[in-house]
Amino acid sequence: MRTARTARRAGLLLTTLATAAAGLLAAPAAHAEGRHTTTAWAGRAEASYRALQHNLYLGAASHDLYREAAPAAAGSNPYSYLWEFREATQATLYVRTIPHNTGPYRKDVADRFAALQQYAASDPAHPGYDSYLPAPLGTGGDLFFDDNAVVGLSFLTQYRAGGDRSMLAKARAAFTTDTRAWDDDPAKTCPGGMHWVENDANAIRAANVTGLFAQLSAGLYQITKEPAYLDWAQKAYDWNKTCLQQSPGLYQNDRDDNGTVNTTLWTYNSGAMIGTATELYRATGKRAYLDEAVRDADGALTYWTADDRLYNQPAIFNSFLFQDLLLLDSQHHDPRYRQVLSDYADRLWSENRDPATGLFRFQASNGGAPDPAQPVATLNQSAAVQLFSLLAWDPRDYDRTS
């Protein structure tokens, strides 16, 4: 189980690289601007959510959990990993935030957070959330620090929606879990940064977990004003900037303990740093952070909108980018942020959605043109719900993304 989870993630990333390279050779022309009202986007978000629930949600009789994909591969787990479950949770939170949806989706939100606790690690010496369900529902799995960071961000989303102090306490706990990932061994090149997974075999400090942890820390400081959160947010943010930034808005994936750097670029690493800088600006009022966020947004949009790169990224990674661009938009309005999202979401609806089922298909990489041979996945369907929901929100709510 532990090895399979790590291998599955590594395989996804390698497949995405191959798919993106193919897309650069034969990228279709970009679609014209999608012109839809927020009501139309709400309809798309809710229809996609219903398809998620009908085809991938297992219901109360199966512990309110999700499948990883349908049809399930032979020998696969009966339930999804934590990563997929978290994204379905965030999709539920985002469709709930569409105007007038608070009441209708209240129970669904409560069900997600109750079921999430089934992923809690059983080892009291290493609290947090495991990548797969521990006994009795599963055999457990490694604790991934990026998973725990985004779970913490979901707790912050829910806290910001209604001030539930239990959600704030859980976000604090997720932060504490992730502090175990920091590695400031002075013998290593670029001391600092955060390990991806709690496993002795791990030898990389990664942009994703470091940036997402920085964003969680900055959000906690904004709410609590406790200096330790600001210290950690700045330390993690600065490490990514110093040790993994390729250019404004683009962050190399990771640094190995042996000194080598994985130069792969992903949209969610761009997004996490835009989001962190925005949160630091909101928390401190320092204009330099807002300027950094805008520079990163400009660099990211210039790169990712060229040569069909955005379309070939995993859809869930793009959701991270866009939620962070809209968070920035709440502090520095730029119509490009929503426009690029609208164009991308319109293309997913027209090219990747099966009208008969409402389900979205992609390459094995979770991005790019639909491949009918690939199963539909909770991860991808959740991404579609998140993206459409963001377009249906009142822009005054963009400061509530996480």
Query: What would the pLDDT profile of 99-128 be if each residue is shown by its tens digit?
Result: 999 999 999 999 999 999 999 999 999 999
Among 65, 195, 207, 197, CA closest to 131:
197
- The DSSP letter of residue 73 is P
Q: What is the model's pLDDT at position 35?
A: 58
Contacts 24+ apart (CB under 8 A), 300-303: 300/248, 300/249, 300/250, 300/267, 300/270, 300/271, 300/274, 301/249, 301/325, 301/336, 301/337, 301/340, 302/249, 303/249, 303/250, 303/265
Query: What would the pLDDT profile of 346-383 be if each residue is shown by its tens digit?
Result: 999 999 999 999 999 999 999 999 999 999 999 999 99
- The DSSP letter of residue 59 is E
Is the pLDDT at 9 greater than 80? The verdict is no
Q: What is the model's pLDDT at position 11?
A: 55
φ, ψ dihedrals at 254, nearest 5°: -165, 165
State how far the Cα of 387 lies from the Cα of 400, in Å rounded to an integer: 15
* pTM for the predicted model, two decimal places: 0.92
Mean pLDDT check: name the lowest of 74-78, 96-100, 252-256: 74-78
Determine contact, residues 126/198, Cβ cutoff 8 Å.
Answer: yes
Among 130, 156, 263, 137, CA closest to 213:
156
Radius of gyration for the alpha carbons in the chain, expressed in angstroms and rounded? 19
Query: What would the pLDDT profile of 313-337 be if each residue is shown by its tens digit?
Result: 999 999 999 999 999 999 999 999 9
Averaged confidence pLDDT in the chain: 92
Share of the chain above pLDDT 90, in %: 88
pLDDT range class, residue 402, cuts 50, 70, 90: confident
Report the run of H or E that residue 169 belongs to, with start and end. helix 165-179
